[in-house]
Structure 1
Amino acid sequence: MTVQASNLESEQIPDPTAVETAGGGAVAGKSPGRLALERFRKDRLSMVSAVVVAIYILLAIVAPLLVHFKVLDPQTFHQDLLNADTLPEGSFGGISASHPLGVEPGTGRDVLSRIVYGITFSLAVAIAATMVTMIVGTVMGIISGFAGGWTDSVIGRFIDLTLSFPQTLMLLALSDQGVSLLADVLPGESTDPLPNGAYIVLVLGLFGWPSIARVIRGQVLTIREREFVEAAKLFGAPRRRIYFKEILPNLWAPLLVNFTLIMPLYISAEAALAFLGVSIPPPTPTLGNILTGSLNYAQADFLFFSAPAVLIMIIVVCFNLLGDGIRDALDPKSAQ
């Protein structure tokens, strides 16, 4: 039997994702990820926050390069720009074309260069601490939720025990011993910021994971009853494969949301710890120690005090708004 070419050309293969409408037309289906992205794009506040966060991360990445090529100069003293009281000459903290945010009282260092360069260290500490929190919390949550029984009980009691320790007091009490131990283990000179930064990361991460573990455990209790997990168990898949190949890929949504919500907590925590004397010490700039150093000049040079404070506030607010926007986009019922 022969088939006419015109008939073949007129035939169209139906789109399996298309949905027939009442008018006879077809509407292409959309994946959950695409629907979430469209919902996120409609939220203008979240989009603005995403742009601000992206600029903040970009500055943190390029700042060391700008310092290397002398575009930024955060360490050079400009004593000639200070008066007899070691305050910047001129109005608004010595603002000029070469120093858009003025100079630092007492040293004459460029404020803009120190703030931009300080973003790198503050973000590095926050990201590293968040990663430690997420990794430990995710692993413990998956094991607790999937294993159940006595394993779940032991991990649950360990979570309660960890939450019972006051994080800030433990960090202050163990700071000298912890930093000294890390300074002996880690390479570098005694003046390097690495031991202090590593200590802050470890304490924030190892005391912050229980909340993530509880969230992940609740998600795993639902996922472990799904058909693909049961099929993997029937085929004799080892638990490690079930944990990281079957369950973990289905946890990306809560992990992403919690990551964007924990980041601002650790950014502000670094600033608070700098005020308590536990953060990365000067001359290495961070947003925390710049703000702490500006407290003595809050009245004499308000711009020097307000610039890092406003920047920390903007970053924390934008990260929180971004996290809320991602959560509402992934789970539209939460916005109701």
Structure 2
Amino acid sequence: MAAAGFFLLAAFLAMALLAPWIAPHDPAALNLDARLQSPSAQHLFGTDELGRDVLSRSLYGARVSLTVAVSVVGLSLGAGLLLGALAGFYGGWIDTVINVYLSNVFLALPGILLAIAFVAFMGPGLENLILALALAGWVNYARLVRAQVMSMKEREFVAAARSLGASDLRLLLRHILPNILQPLLVQAAVGMAAAVLAEATLSFLGLGVQPPTATWGSMLNDARSHLFDAPYLVVFPAAFVALCVLAFNLVGDGLRDALDPRTRLE
């Protein structure tokens, strides 16, 4: 299953990178004479209500989804790593401010509602979408890092390095953080799956990347009025979303099994 996840993820990555060369048509080109054509040899996935090729738009939609997934997880993980490490390593009032007050403020609202409110206030667009999802997702990483750092800083090798005069920064970067990467990698893979789904949700609501840029969520939104007369408009982008989310989840499970020492012993 993990190999299948890596294969699917590699396929989506190839689609995103090679979309300008493998897409059979311009994803934004209108052709009203060819509107709502069923899948055929000329248009493998059919055409939408404006005559745009669904296959080409699906390929370009992978670029947006993977860009959002990588950017959101990168920002969320960076912020969570910094704040969680400070809270877990120093404790005291720093831990109280970050873990009790700041984290609980963001956890008071569901992440998707916080993202919707942020995008609605700042305006739709790729940059605001990434910032909104990162703002809603950093808390999970911060709490995970905090718990791992609090456990790791009590280990004997950290105490030995401290007794030899290692600075706090060196303890964190050289002795603690390398030993907590395993749960972070697993969480990052699962977080990318959530980011893909959240991007599709916001684009479906009209709060994501704006037309004429092709995204899977906006394609699903455009297909609502043709659910019964042209169901392929829903099937293909929905399948891409489901397979991409599945790929990241399988990769996360594979990383967890590969990096867990108890699994290796078995």
**TM-score, structure 1 as length reference:** 0.73
One-letter amino acid of the structure 2 residue matched with residue 224 of structure 1? K
Cα deviation per residue 1:170-199 (whole Å; 9 max; x = unaligned)? Answer: 3333434413xxxxxxxxxxxxxxx61111
Per-residue deviation, 1:228: 3.4
Match of 2:186 in 1: 257
Question: For residues 41-120 of structure 1, what are the structure 2 equivalents within 5 Å?
Answer: 45-66=1-22, 71-82=24-35, 87-88=36-37, 93=38, 95-105=39-49, 107-120=50-63
Runs of 5+ in structure 1 lacking a partner? 1-44, 180-194
Aligned to 1:274: 203
Instruction: State the distance in 2 between where 1:304 and 1:276 align.
Output: 17
Deviations 1:193-239 (Å, cap 9, x if unpaired)?
A: xx611111111112211111111112112221233322332333332
How large is the Cα RMSD of the aligned pairs? 2.1
Tell me by how many angstroms 1:323 deviates: 0.9
Counterpart CA distance in 2 for 1:197 and 1:76 is: 21
Residue in structure 1 matching 2:172, options 226, 234, 243: 243
Given that residues 220 and 247 in structure 1 are in contact (C-alpha distance below 8 angstroms), is that contact kept between their aligned partners in structure 2?
yes
**Alignment partners' CA distance in 2, 1:293 and 1:287:** 10
Distance 1:276 1:334 in 2: 42
Q: For residue 128 of structure 1, what is the aligned residue in structure 2?
A: 71
1:312 counterpart = 2:256? no
Counterpart amino acid of residue 253 in structure 1: Q
Would the aligned equivalents of 2:114 and 2:136 in 1 still touch at CA under 8 Å?
Answer: no
- In 2, the alpha carbon distance for the partners of 1:331 and 1:223 equals 16
Please, what TM-score do these two structures have when normalized by structure 2? Answer: 0.91
Q: Residues of 1 paired with 2:89 and 2:171: CA distance?
A: 9
Aligned partners of 1:226 and 1:176: how far apart in 2?
46
Q: In the TM superposition, what is the alpha-carbon distance from 1:65 to its structure 2 partner?
A: 4.8
Distance 1:294 1:282 in 2: 14
Distance 1:334 1:276, change over 3 A: farther
Note the alpha carbon deviations across 1:11-42, whole angstroms, 9 max, x for none. Answer: xxxxxxxxxxxxxxxxxxxxxxxxxxxxxxxx
Q: CA deviation at 1:143?
A: 1.2
Deviation at 1:66, TM superposition (A): 4.5
Q: Which amino acid is 2:73 matched to?
A: T
In the alignment, what sits opposite 2:99?
Answer: 156
Amino acid at match of 2:59: V
**What one-letter code is carried by the residue in structure 1 that aligns with 2:33?**
D
Aligned residues: 264
CA contact (8 A) 2:152 2:176 kept: yes
Which structure is higher in helix share?
Answer: 2
**Counterpart contact for 2:189–2:249, Cα < 8 Å:** yes
d(CA) in 2 for partners of 1:212, 1:171: 17
Contact 2:118–2:132 at 8 Å: present in 1 too?
no
Distance 1:322-1:219 versus aligned 2 partners, 3 A rule: same
**Distance between the aligned counterparts of 1:275 and 1:111, measured in 2?**
16
Counterpart position of 2:162: 233
Structure showing greater Rg? 1
Q: Once structures 1 and 2 are overlaid, which stretch shifts more, 233-242 or 298-307?
A: 233-242
